[in-house]
A and B are shown apart, each in its own frame.
Chain A
């Protein structure tokens, strides 16, 4: 087994890369340790596949390589698994994620397995190239693994709301029963007692897009729902099942394109609230870039 070390190095490297990417993600996928076991195992399969590509090519087993690539296509199934399981638990969320957010999460989980495959592939290439010296081989493989995983992770990191918009606190006003945040009419709150709770405990913010691209991105309904979900899952929401009055709301000002969000959090901490909004990821499916078009630039 002359390739044993390469396969072991590649597999471990790919698995560690998957683990590293899993760690950064517990907020989106909170069901560890079971969820971790599932993803680490799929990551292990991916890492193993990646690491045996090089030995197969060296042995000129091209049939084996084709089969490996065929096996890699199975990872598309990961996206379906993620999507359906998140859709199933959607009904149990006080504030729903929305289908756009679920799709984004599912896509990320699929992509991460490919990253794990690529990492282990690179490690095994380096390991085979540095075969003449064991120390060099170990150091080279480790460095390649760290570099690849770090770089891919960096490249895959999408922007968050604070990158595309300015966020500031806003006042909660009532115009009769109409809840008004920064000039945007948000909803009709019927009861005096509920209005009092909003005045007392509610927090609100305005999200001002920085440019026309951001404006178009923030106008996506899925993005708005993702903000509502993430913020309420981070700062908590003071509501029970069926209390629709306290549902966190995100609304858009059609003139300026700014968003307003209002929520009655479990803890009244305005800084935490702003921090939560800043960290909401910009959904891949929501990103629009009108400035890349001639018409979009003419409007700017």
Chain B
């Protein structure tokens, strides 16, 4: 039986290939102040950019800069773990070159 070769490339490496104009002033997605741990873990599973991270102690980090603007976290959170979700300001955010 063959096993797939180990996947070693992290998603951050791929995000670095995308073109972004990062709005340093405004985060278009804001995590809730005391997010629910299970919701955070769900966000970490569904985010195609892997931007939601939860460490063993349950501390959450989220970096909006690599956002692909898919809106999946808006669907999961339902207002729970994400305090606010909007699109980045016009001309900001990801700019797809292939799409």
Are both chains from one complex? Answer: no
